[in-house]
Amino acid sequence: MHQITIISVGRIKNLSIQKVEETILKRCSSIRIELIETKAYGSDFEKESEEILKKLKDLSKKSSIYPVLLTENGTLRDSNEFSKWIYETLDKKSEKLTFIISGAYGFSKKLIEKSKSKLSLSPLTFPHEWARLLLIEQIYRSMTIKTNHPYHK
């Protein structure tokens, strides 16, 4: 079974988003998604980035990681391209795929330098709760594309 880690700043406070997220996570049978939440520090994105860097360091002690920043300036892919990329990354790299979602003020330069890739879900900007939900849904959609499940029409 493949495994993906998502590190996000702040907790999901909206109960509706929590429930939809839980429903999608239950459907992910061939990809295990580990969620790691870090503390939100408001406009202090340097402190938020330091928290994320600590989590990355902890993860890298267990296995090599492939950190991917979610940013509107990242590579934009449609769902089929994303599915192909995600499975190529999972199958061909010995590193653990780790997505990182920042708070409202973005990433520190140090964290940007640590990333190996940047992904855009859209040129639009979303609250981190929505970005996390969209990412999880797209990971699930990738799985359904790979298995020819009718979810992706």
Phi, psi of 13 (to 5 degrees): -95, -25
User: Does 95 fall in a domain?
Assistant: yes
| Amino acid 97: pLDDT | 96
Instruction: Count the domains in the chain.
Output: 1
Residues 145 and 147: their CA atoms lie apart, in Å, by 5
**If 0-12 CB within 10 Å is exposed, 13-18 middle and 19+ buried, where does residue 143 land?**
buried
Q: In angstroms, rounded to a whole number, what is the distance separating the alpha carbons of residues 25 and 46? A: 30
Decide if 151 is inside a domain: no
Asked if residue 153 belongs to a domain, the reply is: no
The CATH number of the domain where 111 resides is what?
Answer: 3.40.1280.10
What are the tens digits of pLDDT across the range 1-44?
889 999 999 999 999 999 999 999 999 988 999 999 999 998 99
Q: Say whether pTM exceeds 0.85.
A: yes
Find the domain containing 116 and state its range.
2-146
